[in-house]
Amino acid sequence: MNRRGALAFWLFVGPFAAGLLLFTYVPIGWSAYLSFFDAHNTVTPTEFVGLDNYTDMLTDRAFLDSIGTFSAFAALIVPTTVVLSLLLALLVNQVRVARAFVRSVFFLPFACSYVVASLVWKMSLFSGVDTGVVNTVFGWFGGEPQAWVGTVDPPLYWVVLVTVRLWLQLGFYMVLFLAALQRIPDHLYEAAWTDGASPGWQTFRHVTLPGLRGALVAVLVLNLINAYQAFDEFYNILGDARGYPPFARPPLVYLYYTSLGSGGQDLGRGSAGALVLALLIALVTLLSGRVLRRSSS
């Protein structure tokens, strides 16, 4: 009986477990192995270097900067996404005419790839020539055309990077908030009004917001993890045929160039960096989840 139970279990779970082993656990193990070797341009290195790759990465200014870049990016994108997607959800929730249509409009960019969005942002909306869409609008108000992607001081490129991600993901988070809003039972609102709460801010503060706690935690954590993994829009907007500049270089972009790109094919340092990063992400996810849950309970 026991053996038959095991057989049935593995009949269902086996294919997935094998794949998970081969494409997740073996890579992590192999990566750990590589991180202790001098693995330039090879996946079967012979020269053991101990912790050198780790000390190298942890003192590598470019790697530390990339974590700084992520932090700056997260500090910009997470609050704006949460506030704006919640705002959109609240507004959409109030209209009755054509609500599905309006929701679709905001959700539509979710179907668009980062590559395509980067293209529109870099080559058209924020193009540096005076016929770029944003520069044209600037021109109406007598503004000088700006090189949005190319200007480092002040860092105008952040405007491009943040707005493209907002456009792509606001709809997704709005849908999450909408679903959560519709789960708040009507009687809570009615009870609040009976208690004398005004229908505007007070109701929002005492009924809506508490009802959205779960969704808020989910949006914050998902948003943070996604910001950590930023690659596509950075690579396509700031990268070119010659490589990538040292600013606004998030961790994944740096690891890509270090280990697989034109930056050196150094799989030892690349693996060490990837493992450090994985550890950081796990810590941040656990901590943020815990802190948020505690503060909201």
Site for other proteins contains 62 (CB under 8 A): yes
Judged by CB under 8 A, which stretch of 66-74, 75-83, 243-251 contacts other proteins?
A: 243-251
Q: Residue 116 Cβ, how far from other proteins at the closest point, in Å?
A: 4
Site for other proteins contains 212 (CB under 8 A): no
Site for other proteins contains 3 (CB under 8 A): no
CB nearer other proteins, residue 29 or residue 79: 29
| CA-to-CA separations, 186 to 89, 98, 190, 193, 297, in angstroms, rounded | 17, 22, 6, 11, 22
Amino acid at position 116, single letter: V
H-type alpha helices, the chain: 2-20, 26-34, 52-58, 61-94, 99-107, 114-120, 133-140, 157-183, 186-194, 201-203, 209-211, 213-228, 232-238, 251-255, 267-296
Q: Which of residues 89-118 bind other proteins (CB under 8 A)?
A: 91-96, 102, 104-118
Site for other proteins contains 234 (CB under 8 A): no
Q: Please pick, from the candidates 278, 287, 290, 291, the single residue that binds other proteins as defined by CB under 8 A.
A: 278
Q: Residue 175 Cβ, how far from other proteins at the closest point, in Å?
A: 5
Q: Residue 172 Cβ, how far from other proteins at the closest point, in Å?
A: 6
Site for other proteins contains 218 (CB under 8 A): yes
Site for other proteins contains 9 (CB under 8 A): yes
Write 29-36 long-range contacts (CB < 8 A, 24+).
31/271, 31/274, 31/275, 32/271, 32/275, 34/267, 34/268, 34/271, 35/268, 35/271, 35/272, 35/275, 36/268
Q: Which of residues 128-187 bind other proteins (CB under 8 A)?
A: 128-129, 133, 145-153, 167, 171-173, 175-176, 179-182, 184, 186
CB 223 within 8 A of CB 82: yes
Q: Which of residues 18-37 bind other proteins (CB under 8 A)?
A: 19-20, 22-31, 34
Site for other proteins contains 49 (CB under 8 A): no
The two structure tokens encoding residue 131: 């016929």
Q: Residue 79 Cβ, how far from other proteins at the closest point, in Å?
A: 18
Task: Provide the 10 A C-beta neighbour count for residue 11.
Answer: 9
Site for other proteins contains 210 (CB under 8 A): no
Phi and psi, residue 143, nearest 5°: -85, 155
Q: Residue 23 Cβ, how far from other proteins at the closest point, in Å?
A: 4
CB nearer other proteins, residue 19 or residue 143: 19
Q: What is the dihedral angle through the alpha carbons of 254, 258, 263, 266, rounded to the nearest 10 degrees?
A: 170
Site for other proteins contains 255 (CB under 8 A): yes
